[in-house]
Amino acid sequence: MNEAWWEKPMCFICNFWWLILGFFVLLLTSYFTSSFWLPHVIPDWGATATPSGTPRVENFENPYLTPGANIPAMVGTEVPTETVNDHWQTYNNPIIEISLKYPGNWKLQENEDKNGFSLYPPDSDINMPSPHITFNFLPDHIFDETTPISADKTGYQAININNFSGMEYQDDRLNIPGQNYYIELAHKQGTISISATMGPHISLVNQLREILNTLGVLS
């Protein structure tokens, strides 16, 4: 009786199925782990080919998503500045030992440790990234005009606010979600660090300056 053409291949598969299965397992394992072992075998594996004489750009990052990218800061539209009036609220912080006033329709949120607080305009959502003004007291950071907290900014300038000596500066590059204006003030052997949203959509800098006119030491 003549054998059918498929009988011999089937006999081979039946006898050596384990060898065939092992081969495919090894093949799939090698494929899915190639990113780990192949660069050690072929050092240039995965390098992007470029035309001769064309410099290769490594580690490209989208500058619009990267804080500190080489894009000038975008200063926002200054919000209408409300001057000090009888409707302003008074805030006293016995931990920092300061007192100030702020617009009556603004929202104030203290830090859990009471060593700082933030002020938000009326339409801001304090639970979302929103324009705001922040005060933080850093008792372990001795104020030094030669070594500011943020040394990668621009426009450093000495200032004096109601007998508080300090310095001011600002972001000069695009940051996400926005750019800030900064003030550092010497206080109680430490530093009061202040920031206000400066862009890209709106600026609270002038409103901060008006608020700082009311800043004083809590006696």
How far, in Å, CA of 194 to CA of 188, rounded?
15
Higher-pLDDT residue of 152, 133: 133
One domain, residues 207 and 121: yes
One domain, residues 38 and 98: no
Look at residues 60, 88, 111 and tell me which one is the last residue of a structural domain.
Answer: 60
Burial class (CB in 10 A: 0-12, 13-18, 19+), 122: exposed
Confidence (pLDDT) at 21? 75
Confidence (pLDDT) at 63? 37
One domain, residues 86 and 8: no
Q: Is residue 66 in a domain?
A: no
Higher-pLDDT residue of 61, 39: 39
**For 86-131, how does the pLDDT look when each residue is reduced to its tens digit (9 = 90+)?**
999 999 999 999 999 999 999 999 999 989 999 999 988 888 888 9
Domain count, the chain: 2
Task: Determine the structural domain holding residue 89 and report its residue range.
Answer: 77-217
Q: Is residue 91 in a domain?
A: yes
Residue 209: pLDDT over 80: yes
* pLDDT averaged over every residue in the chain: 78
One domain, residues 48 and 82: no
Q: Is residue 114 in a domain?
A: yes
pTM value is 0.65
One domain, residues 114 and 47: no
| Averaged pLDDT for residues 32-53 | 51
